[in-house]
Chain A
Amino acid sequence: MPKPRSLFFAILVLFPAASFSAGLDDASEFADARQALSDGLPGVAAVKAERLLNQKGWTSAETRRLATFAAEAWAREEQADRVLALAEAHELDDEVFCRAG
């Protein structure tokens, strides 16, 4: 069982910056989620991202990206159980590392 703290740092370091899809970037809710994150409210960002994730119609790449974003936000919020729940339900970027971290 990884220590939560180490998991957080692993995700923060390795959060990917590539493979964005246009559909997701057009979603104003996603912009709001990213804004919340940059405003220092990762919990709010995570809630928004998870709500988007629950909507239908995303490509697998978008789903993965959203899930990873939400995981990162929960990690910053120090909510390890929410990160793990996302990891269980979705494929995350660098998931192996996350779990291992």
Chain B
Amino acid sequence: MSLMMRFFAALGENSAARDEIAPLLARVDEPLRQQASRLQTELDLSDGKPGTALADASQDASVKYLRARGILQQGQSVAAQQLLQAVKASAAGGERVQHAVILLQADILLQQRQFAEAHDQLIKFLDTTVTTDLWTEAFDLLDQAHLRLQEPRELPEAVLRWISSGNTPQQQPQPSLALIKATSELRGHALFIVAKWLVAEKRDIEAVSLLEALLQMAQDHPRRADAMRLAMELYAAQGAGERVLALAEAWRQLSGGASAMVDFTAGGMFFRRGDHRQAQRLFQNAANIATTLTDRRRALFNSAIAAVLAGDFTLYQSLLGHLEVVTSAAGDGQGADDNGATLELEKALFAAAKRQPEAELALRAFIRAHPDHPRFADASVTLAEWLLMAVPPRVHDARITLDATTAATTLSQSQMQRIDLTRLWLHDAEGDLKELLVQGAAFLKAWPKSTFVPEVRMKIAGAHYRLEDFASARTEFEIIARDYPETSNADTALYFAAMSASSVMSAEGRVRALATWEELAQKGGPLAVAARRQQALSERAQGRLNEALAALDKLLALKNLDVEQQRMTICEKAEVLLLLGKTDPARLDAAITLLDEFLAESSLPFFWKARAGFTLATARHDAKRDTEALEACYNVLRAAEITPPASPADYVWFAKTGFFGIDLLEAAHHWEAAARLAEQVAQRRGDREQEARERATKIRLEHFLWDGPAPTPPKVLKLKDEAEAKPDEPAESASKNIKKSMR
């Protein structure tokens, strides 16, 4: 009986344990009755009821220990610590109570945030104890203490030593079988805890090898199931599905054959990793072997959701049918409706997340059919978000949907928060940034503890930034970066805090912005490239060209720079070299060499050919190599014949280069060539087309070049009559061209 009772208590099945205890409390056998009474006190404590423990005034060491736990639950850690110290000093109660006292003292230190002290105390305990029933608890506490130590944390030397040879008192020349077993158990605990710490450091491969070592050890190690579960998580993350399934099979054997729990857990792992098909198979397997209707329904439900996410709608329909049958068999008709509706909603939410066109209809169908469903608001808000993400945003429809949601149903706090957050997006889509600021502030006041607070603050900060209130934007972004350093918004907030600071146009702001960008660049996160580029732009804007050049060189040294970013950076570097070349001709040569190499790439898009070509022409001109400068311009115009400028940006560089070439030719008094080049520029559609045409006409008129295409006459000239009067006069070809042009 006592064994069953302890078994249930260890499993956390407190009510079952209490049922076992109840008859023992009435027994005449005093030692057994006392033991049952203490176990009941322990159960009460684990249920958060310290009353029994506090009421027992016995001086027995184990009772004092339980009383200390009761006192601790009441928040009196000093008094609890004093009582424990007294028990420890008396050395009473046997080894188990003494060990429990040491661990409770370590727990108190953890609660007092004295992590290093707790860590040292636990290491000392584990390194000096040959064997104990409380190793699992001791290692759990050590895990908590270690993970709260200041980073960078080193793996404790003692724990690594335990892995290889056990702790200090276990080092004996001729160990007994019991000692060998104890050593093996300690080594297993050490392997498991170090594996967990390695996972925390994202050293998954090393962690897996330690877990595999543990799994090769004694089959009855108390951490075996935990090790299997962690190894499965890690293998699932690495995409090693085969090994996950093999471990699941081993776990099944460990738990005595087919186990719905194992398949359900493994299914959950695959589901979280996004392998919905494998997850669906495991959930379905769990449903097939589940021993209770509740487990079967739960597994079928998950299987149906996994089928939806895997895009297998035929299987989904089939599973939905099974689910209805199971729910009906359980005599819960309402449950069947709820399950069906929930799956219908999941399917619609999945379609919305994937931006599938049928999402809107599916969401509207759910909203129409299930106005009383507890997740009605989820559907409505998702529909509102869907409408706001439409191109162009359907703001009016979104507003109607949100208003109807607020009016139609009882909302949970989390749903109300989501609605308020969606309203901020709505104001954003309307361009009503001032209202967004007002509503954002109201949100923060109403829901200061909401998980959406970082997102709301980002919206507020973004609105300030777009309203060009850079001082407020900077403050908001800095608050986000400071208060939510672990969120995905933190780096973005830091980046825009720097953008805001640099826009304030104060010396302090610029210095702060540069320091922030440097910090982001050194972190190497997703914004490292953008931060380094802003650093270069800012230095350049301030005329600190050598610093800008250094930032661009650091940018080019980044390995994750994509092709377009690399091209832009090379062009920017050439431009900075060009500016430096005003005082140092060697920099001009460097710019020319850099651009020559850049333009040698045959697959360069027109935009880069034109931008780099223009910069090269300018550099060569500055280096007093005008013929070569003209060649660079000519190359751009030739490239435009093969791939004409297709975007406004293409055209800007095309026109700049073309006009620069015309200037060069005019400066060299090559009037005919200048006119022809201007005409070539005029052939391309764009906002400088007319300017180029007029330039060509002007050159031809000023220099009497009559052989070219029809020039555009100045509006003040009235040559029509003359031209018509002398249509065949050969010496007046310019007039003929004018006449043609006028026709």
B638 and A43 within 8 A (CB): no
Residues on B with C-beta less than 8 A from A52 are none
Residues on A with C-beta less than 8 A from B673 are 39-41
Residues on B with C-beta less than 8 A from A43 are 627, 630-631, 668
Residues on A with C-beta less than 8 A from B631 are 36, 43-44, 47-48
A64–B638 Cα distance when bound, in Å, is 27
A48–B630 Cα distance when bound, in Å, is 11
Residues on B with C-beta less than 8 A from A36 are 631, 634
Residues on B with C-beta less than 8 A from A32 are 635, 638
A47 and B627 within 8 A (CB): yes
B628 and A40 within 8 A (CB): no
Interface flags for B670-690 (1: CB within 8 Å of A; 0: not) read 101100100000000000000
- Interface status of A46 (Cβ within 8 A of chain B): yes
User: Given A32-B638, A35-B638, does the pair A44, B630 have CB atoms closer than 8 Å?
Assistant: yes
B634 and A44 within 8 A (CB): yes
- Identify which of residues 6-48 in chain A touch chain B, using a CB-to-CB cut-off of 8 Å: 32, 35-36, 39-41, 43-44, 46-48
Interface flags for A44-84 (1: CB within 8 Å of B; 0: not) read 10111000000000000000000000000000010000000
Residues on A with C-beta less than 8 A from B670 are 40
Residues on A with C-beta less than 8 A from B635 are 32
B635 CB to closest chain A CB (Å) equals: 8
For A32, A40, A41, the residue with the greatest tally of chain B CB atoms inside 10 Å of its CB is: A41
A32–B642 Cα distance when bound, in Å, is 13
B675 CB to closest chain A CB (Å) equals: 9
A36–B680 Cα distance when bound, in Å, is 13
User: Given A35-B638, A36-B634, does the pair A44, B672 have CB atoms closer than 8 Å?
Assistant: no
A89–B457 Cα distance when bound, in Å, is 72
Closest A-chain residue to B627, C-beta based? A43
Residues on B with C-beta less than 8 A from A44 are 627, 630-631, 634
Residues on B with C-beta less than 8 A from A46 are 627
A47–B629 Cα distance when bound, in Å, is 10
Which one, B638, B668, B676, contacts A40 given CB within 8 A?
B676
Interface flags for B641-681 (1: CB within 8 Å of A; 0: not) read 00000000000000000000000000010101100100000
Residues on A with C-beta less than 8 A from B638 are 32, 35
A46–B628 Cα distance when bound, in Å, is 10
B634 and A77 within 8 A (CB): no
Q: Tally A-B pairs: CB < 8 A.
A: 29
Residues on A with C-beta less than 8 A from B627 are 43-44, 46-47, 77
Residues on B with C-beta less than 8 A from A40 are 670, 672-673, 676
A39–B676 Cα distance when bound, in Å, is 8
B contacts with A, residue count (CB < 8 A):
12
A74 CB to closest chain B CB (Å) equals: 9
A47 and B672 within 8 A (CB): no
A44–B638 Cα distance when bound, in Å, is 12
Closest B-chain residue to A48, C-beta based? B631
Residues on A with C-beta less than 8 A from B634 are 36, 39, 41, 44
A46–B672 Cα distance when bound, in Å, is 18
A77 CB to closest chain B CB (Å) equals: 7
Residues on A with C-beta less than 8 A from B628 are 47
Residues on A with C-beta less than 8 A from B672 are 40
B229 CB to closest chain A CB (Å) equals: 64
Interface flags for B606-636 (1: CB within 8 Å of A; 0: not) read 0000000000000000000001101100110
A44–B661 Cα distance when bound, in Å, is 11
Interface flags for B406-432 (1: CB within 8 Å of A; 0: not) read 000000000000000000000000000
A100 CB to closest chain B CB (Å) equals: 27
Residues on B with C-beta less than 8 A from A48 are 631
A44–B668 Cα distance when bound, in Å, is 13
Interface flags for B432-446 (1: CB within 8 Å of A; 0: not) read 000000000000000
Closest A-chain residue to B633, C-beta based? A44
B666 CB to closest chain A CB (Å) equals: 13
Closest A-chain residue to B668, C-beta based? A43
B647 CB to closest chain A CB (Å) equals: 25
A46–B668 Cα distance when bound, in Å, is 16
A48–B676 Cα distance when bound, in Å, is 20
- Identify which of residues 461-481 in chain B touch chain A, using a CB-to-CB cut-off of 8 Å: none
Residues on B with C-beta less than 8 A from A39 are 634, 673, 676
Closest A-chain residue to B620, C-beta based? A47
A47–B626 Cα distance when bound, in Å, is 11
A67–B676 Cα distance when bound, in Å, is 27
Residues on A with C-beta less than 8 A from B676 are 39-40
B570 CB to closest chain A CB (Å) equals: 21
B329 CB to closest chain A CB (Å) equals: 78
Closest B-chain residue to A33, C-beta based? B631
Closest B-chain residue to A47, C-beta based? B631
Closest A-chain residue to B628, C-beta based? A47
Closest B-chain residue to A46, C-beta based? B627
A41–B634 Cα distance when bound, in Å, is 9
A32–B668 Cα distance when bound, in Å, is 22
Residues on A with C-beta less than 8 A from B668 are 43
B663 CB to closest chain A CB (Å) equals: 14
A49 CB to closest chain B CB (Å) equals: 11
Residues on B with C-beta less than 8 A from A35 are 638
A41–B626 Cα distance when bound, in Å, is 12
Residues on B with C-beta less than 8 A from A41 are 630, 634, 673
Closest B-chain residue to A36, C-beta based? B634
A60 CB to closest chain B CB (Å) equals: 26
A40–B634 Cα distance when bound, in Å, is 11
Closest A-chain residue to B665, C-beta based? A41
Residues on B with C-beta less than 8 A from A47 are 627-628, 631
A46–B673 Cα distance when bound, in Å, is 15
A24–B656 Cα distance when bound, in Å, is 33
A48–B628 Cα distance when bound, in Å, is 9
A47–B634 Cα distance when bound, in Å, is 12
Closest A-chain residue to B637, C-beta based? A39
B84 CB to closest chain A CB (Å) equals: 88
B563 CB to closest chain A CB (Å) equals: 24
A31 CB to closest chain B CB (Å) equals: 10
For A35, A39, A46, the residue with the greatest tally of chain B CB atoms inside 10 Å of its CB is: A39
Residues on B with C-beta less than 8 A from A77 are 627
Q: List 29 A-B contacts (CB under 8 A).
A: A32-B635, A32-B638, A35-B638, A36-B631, A36-B634, A39-B634, A39-B673, A39-B676, A40-B670, A40-B672, A40-B673, A40-B676, A41-B630, A41-B634, A41-B673, A43-B627, A43-B630, A43-B631, A43-B668, A44-B627, A44-B630, A44-B631, A44-B634, A46-B627, A47-B627, A47-B628, A47-B631, A48-B631, A77-B627
3 tightest Cβ-Cβ pairs between the two chains A and B: A43-B627, A44-B631, A40-B673
Q: Using a CB–CB distance below 8 Å, which chain A residues touch chain B?
A: 32, 35-36, 39-41, 43-44, 46-48, 77
Kindly list 8 other residue pairs between chains A and B, CB separation below 8 angstroms, not including A39-B676, A43-B627. A32-B635, A40-B670, A40-B673, A41-B634, A43-B630, A43-B668, A44-B634, A77-B627
